[in-house]
Structure 1
């Protein structure tokens, strides 16, 4: 299924819609283990910015073609830049407001799901950490090996892993550059929600997306905003920012709240409509 009027992209990103209201983005450099290029990052930025503003799309799933979700940055290209002395890494990090692949620091108002097969390394792992729900294949591996290459997980991986796993477990991955299994990512570190056979990863992610789509889109987006604010502020400040924000206004002044409450009284499933643009 083709989503409604997506922006043009290169062959490095496949854009599709496996179900109503659901967008599926597939990193498409399988021979290079989906290592991120400037082109793929630009494609992701254009499509995700469009997704944010498209009322008919409520959830996005990220996955990778081939045997690895995303191997991170293209280190060969990075090495060439370093050896030539033309890099401006610090300026590039600050200028790239959405982070690695236009995902790792993106504060989306809509849920982002990751469907991970094979592995997520470096920047690919930073993308996973900024997703709201992670489905991993039982063969998946995860690592932030930046220190082993003389660099830093600077695109959002450090604060996100620390928030999720706590200081000491985050230090274990970040300072040792250690690779962990899907089982440890779920049970010990806490950033994987479900583990399934590799062949069922995308299918399972779509099922989770459809479960989210079964809820009011305004309520989901306002709740997502509350989660983001909770990471930034204390409880009192978060509450005030959230309750007076545009997302909550959309919930309480929109049509879907009326439909949800009416459907409950009538003992039927609600029929949600696309939310108004904020």
Structure 2
């Protein structure tokens, strides 16, 4: 599946807990690679994801990332053994401050809002705890028919504090979010799509990755400047309540300013008048 082209960018070094490849032009595939541990997130894995996504955000030739898991589970949340071994304060207030300071959230994804590049979740199997928090912060979600979703933190004496609660409540509404958050119940993929609304499409397990990659390719047929400016507007919608505030913040955003001065806006209009497909170029670095 990986494109053998020598033009692929070279990612930063990382451990074997994460795999990265470039299966299509302008597309990065990020795969959690701890299948025996159900892709539970370790501190090492989180740092790998952070390093790779920070690099992805700055790499002009990469326009979309697809995130998936190796094996039968997308992500089972935190690896509690590794988490307990890592250094952390016993003071709850200090732990709360850690959460606030961790601006990218669980797995360096669940609260990541600095990036204006689309993230697609290809949910190959179950997503639990932090795994769900990752999913609901992605822009598009393709899930296997066999996938289930759960936020069981209340059953373990902890809380889903890495962005999952407010985002799920905004997507599904208070009462439906409460089903997952207060009862800790499992939600099948079909229900996550039809009732809860955080899954875009449910497909057979064998088609999850190919569907996500097809969507990624479809995104790359559009102007990357327009796509990234549009995603910034969507992110600002989550930040501001008033429409005028969103419009003003978006108009002043780096992505919007770049879009209106880009070669791609000229190319798009020129291609339309010439009745041909546009040929997009990599966006300028922000």
Tell me the TM-score range normalised by the shorter chain: over 0.9
**2:110 is the alignment partner of 1:104:** yes
Query: In structure 1, how many angstroms separate the alpha carbons of the residues matched to 2:130 and 2:281?
Result: 36
Q: Distance in 1 between matches of 2:64 and 2:82?
A: 33
SS at match of 1:242: helix
- Deviation, 1:266, is 1.0
How far has the Cα of 1:85 moved from its partner? Answer: 5.1
Distance 2:179 2:227 in 1: 33
Structure 1 residues 189, 262: closer, same or farther in 2, change over 3 A?
same
- The residue that corresponds to 1:16 in the other structure is 21
Q: 1:81: Cα distance to partner?
A: 6.7
Q: Say if 1:80 and 1:39 are closer, same or farther in 2 by CA, change over 3 A.
A: closer
2:195 is paired with a residue whose SS is helix
Match of 1:254 among 250, 253, 262: 262
Q: What TM-score, normalized by structure 2, do the two folds share?
A: 0.93
Superposed CA offset, 1:188-238 (max 9, x none): 000000111101111110000000000000000000000000111110100
Query: Residues 81-138 of structure 1: CA distance to partner in whole angstroms, max 9, x if unpaired?
Result: 79x9598532331221100000000012100000001110000000000000000000
* Alpha-carbon distance in structure 1 between the residues aligned to 2:104 and 2:39: 19
Decide which of 6, 9, 25 is 2:11's aligned counterpart.
6
CA distance in 2: counterparts of 1:212 and 1:36, whole angstroms: 29
Structure 2 matches for 1:96-175, cutoff 5 A?
A: 96-107=102-113, 108-175=115-182
- In the TM superposition, residue 44 of structure 1 has moved relative to its aligned partner by 0.4
Is 1:28 matched with 2:33? Answer: yes
Equivalent residue number for residue 94 of structure 1:
100
Q: How many residues align?
A: 278
Q: CA deviation digits over 1:4-35, x for unaligned, max 9? A: 02110000000100100000000000000000
Q: Is the 8 A contact 2:116 2:231 kept in 1?
A: yes
Give, in whole Å, the separation in 2 of the partners of 1:54 and 1:81. Answer: 31
Check if 1:197 corresponds to 2:204: yes
Alignment match, 1:186: 193
The alignment's C-alpha RMSD in Å is 1.8
Name the CA distance, whole Å, in 1 between partners of 2:26 and 2:182.
40
CA distance in 2, matches of 1:277, 1:31: 39
Aligned to 2:71: 66
Secondary structure of 2:182's aligned partner: helix
1:208 maps to 2:215: yes
Residue 56 of structure 1 is matched in structure 2 by 61
* TM-score normalised over the length of structure 1: 0.96
Cα distance in 2 between the residues matched to 1:121 and 1:129? 12
| 2:268 pairs with 1:263 | no
The alpha-carbon distance between structure 1 residues 247 and 140, as it changes in their structure 2 partners (threshold 3 A), is same
Q: Which runs of 5+ in 2 are unaligned?
A: none
